[in-house]
Amino acid sequence: MSESIDELLLKSNHKKEELIRLLSVEPGPETEKVLQAGLRVKAEHPGRIVYLRGLIELSNRCARNCYYCGIRAANPMVERYTLSDEEVYQAADFAWKEGFGSLVIQAGELKNKTFTHHIARLLKGIHQRTHNELTITLSLGEQSAETYRLWREAGAERYLLRIETTNRQLFEHIHPHNKAHNFDARMHALTLLRQEGYQVGTGVMIGLPGQTLADLADDLLFFKTQDIDMVGMGPYIEHPDIPLSAEDALLWPSQERFRIGLLMIALLRLNMPWINIAASTALETLDPLGRQKGILAGANVVMPNLTPVPNRKKYLLYDNKPNLDKDPALSTTSLNQVIQEIGETISYHIAGSSMHYLRRTGQIEG
Ligand code: SAH
């Protein structure tokens, strides 16, 4: 433990104690050092490049009751919606024409045949009209191996399923205690996704009530031992109508959740140089420059929101979600500028697969 912060930042295989030490740095110059190391490793590995994924929030209908989530089934304040196929296709066409290369379809979690087949139909429809030029990521929760297989065969290549926290007790604390919310089942779902041939993404919330820096160090080590291809993680954010709001007084101040969110990105980049890391919407929620700061800490993926404007206000996982009123065309033009201003380049017309995935499967990016 006698190594200096500078020495630790040259390493790429941190032990838990080292990660805790690096997550414990003070705000100011020490924090900046860690973030700069994240950017250095990004520049040397994937490069100073940003991939875009158009985000389609397909539906806020959800069968689950996660205590932290605004669209949980038991929240009566939510006006439920599901986008029409036409709305989804319009968003996909937009992403395709703008050269995004990739889409993410996210929704609450439903497990029934109608939903499963609806997704398969959309996947095929999108591929057909965009000439298979969009790579599609799904983020639709825990499903059976058969469902994951059906969607894979219908043309989904990537899947995002956050473990939320790798601390089992904390996981149980932020979820109802029943069969539908089970830590082992969530872990198992990640294994299934891997088996079905997806590029697998996971992630955690940062700054949950009662979460410690040791927990976050464990989360980083988990991504590595699971050989994860992509990570989306971001600060936990309050919402007035969720059960976890009873614990708001325990939360770290929001700037701290934000700062530690950036440290997590930088440390992940150091330890997993080739993976895709998203600059999450939650970062942007806590700081108007959150996206840029995430990229400058080592993230390489941005997900502009392509959900039709009237529906965005209904997909409120947490409070103060940004870009509720902006037209997608406008926000993507300004996004291009913003990315250039920080010395990065958006890669258009490219699938932007995780290089970690391409390397582990022996492929070369086409
Ligand atoms: N139903 C899908 C998608 C969930 S929403 C699934 O279960 O995977 C995507 C992510 O939003 C969640 O995995 C969670 O990490 C995050 N999220 C939900 N509520 C949040 C909150 N209050 N603050 C920050 N992130 C939140």
**H-only helix segments in the chain:** 5-8, 16-23, 29-44, 85-97, 113-129, 145-153, 168-173, 183-195, 213-225, 254-271, 281-286, 290-296, 309-312, 328-341, 355-360
Neighbouring residues of 252: CB distance < 8 A, sequence distance ≥ 6: 207, 260
Terminal-residue alpha carbon distance, the chain:
44
Q: Are 205 and 68 in contact (CB under 8 A)?
A: yes
Q: Which of 68, 151, 211 to probe ligand 1 with, by most ligand atoms within 8 A of CB?
A: 68
HEC profile for 239-301? CCCCHHHHHHHHCCCHHHHHHHHHHHHHHHHHHCCCCEEEECHHHHHHCCCHHHHHHHCCCCE
What distance in angstroms lies between residue 219's CA and the mean position of ligand 1's atoms?
16
Instruction: Specify the ligand 1 atom closest to the Cα of 280.
Output: 25
CA dist 63 and 71 (Å) reads: 10
Q: Are 205 and 164 in contact (CB under 8 A)?
A: yes
Q: Are 293 and 270 in contact (CB under 8 A)?
A: no
Q: What is the pLDDT along the chain (366 residues), one digit of tens a residue?
A: 579 999 999 999 999 999 999 999 999 999 999 999 999 999 999 999 999 999 999 999 999 999 999 999 999 999 999 999 999 999 999 999 999 999 999 999 999 999 999 999 999 999 999 999 999 999 999 999 999 999 999 999 999 999 999 999 999 999 999 999 999 999 999 999 999 999 999 999 999 999 999 999 999 999 999 999 999 999 999 999 999 999 999 999 999 999 999 999 999 999 999 999 999 999 999 999 999 999 999 999 999 999 999 999 999 999 999 989 886 666 777 888 999 999 999 999 999 999 999 999 998 554
> Does this model's pTM top 0.85?
yes
The partner residues of 100 in beta bridges, in order of sequence, read: none
Distance of CA 30 to the CA centre of its chain: 26
Any atom of ligand 1 within 6 Å of the Cβ of 164: yes
Residue among 144, 97, 79 nearest 116 (CA): 144
What distance in angstroms lies between residue 9's CA and the mean position of ligand 1's atoms?
30
Per-residue confidence (pLDDT) for residue 366, from 0 to 100 = 42
What distance in angstroms lies between residue 166's CA and the mean position of ligand 1's atoms?
15
Q: Which of 56, 61, 71, 162 to probe ligand 1 with, by most ligand atoms within 8 A of CB?
A: 162
Tell the residue nearest (CA) to atom 24 of ligand 1.
Answer: 236
Neighbouring residues of 357: CB distance < 8 A, sequence distance ≥ 6: 199, 229, 230, 363
Residue with tokens 């297989």: 149
Any atom of ligand 1 within 6 Å of the Cβ of 219: no
Any atom of ligand 1 within 6 Å of the Cβ of 200: no
Q: Which of 317, 320, 321 to probe ligand 1 with, by most ligand atoms within 8 A of CB?
A: 317
Per-residue confidence (pLDDT) for residue 330, from 0 to 100 = 65
Any atom of ligand 1 within 6 Å of the Cβ of 239: yes
What distance in angstroms lies between residue 270's CA and the mean position of ligand 1's atoms?
25
CA dist 137 and 155 (Å) reads: 9
Any atom of ligand 1 within 6 Å of the Cβ of 141: yes
Q: What single-letter DSSP state applies at residue 314? A: T
Sign of the C-alpha dihedral, residues 326, 331, 333, 337? positive
Per-residue confidence (pLDDT) for residue 121, from 0 to 100 = 98
Tell the residue nearest (CA) to atom 7 of ligand 1.
Answer: 141
What distance in angstroms lies between residue 71's CA and the mean position of ligand 1's atoms?
9
Any atom of ligand 1 within 6 Å of the Cβ of 282: yes
**Beta-carbon count within 10 A of 360 CB:** 13
What distance in angstroms lies between residue 204's CA and the mean position of ligand 1's atoms?
9
What distance in angstroms lies between residue 234's CA and the mean position of ligand 1's atoms?
10
Residue among 280, 363, 356, 354 nearest 102 (CA): 354
Residue 253 burial (10 A CB sphere; 0-12, 13-18, 19+): exposed
Tell the residue nearest (CA) to atom 19 of ligand 1.
Answer: 69
Distance of CA 202 to the CA centre of its chain: 7
Domains of the chain (ranges plus CATH)? Answer: 5-360 (3.20.20.70)
Q: Which of 59, 69, 320 to probe ligand 1 with, by most ligand atoms within 8 A of CB?
A: 69
Q: Are 160 and 137 in contact (CB under 8 A)?
A: yes
As a whole number of angstroms, the longest Cα–Cα distance in the chain is: 60
Report helix angle 16-23 to 213-225, nearest 10: 130
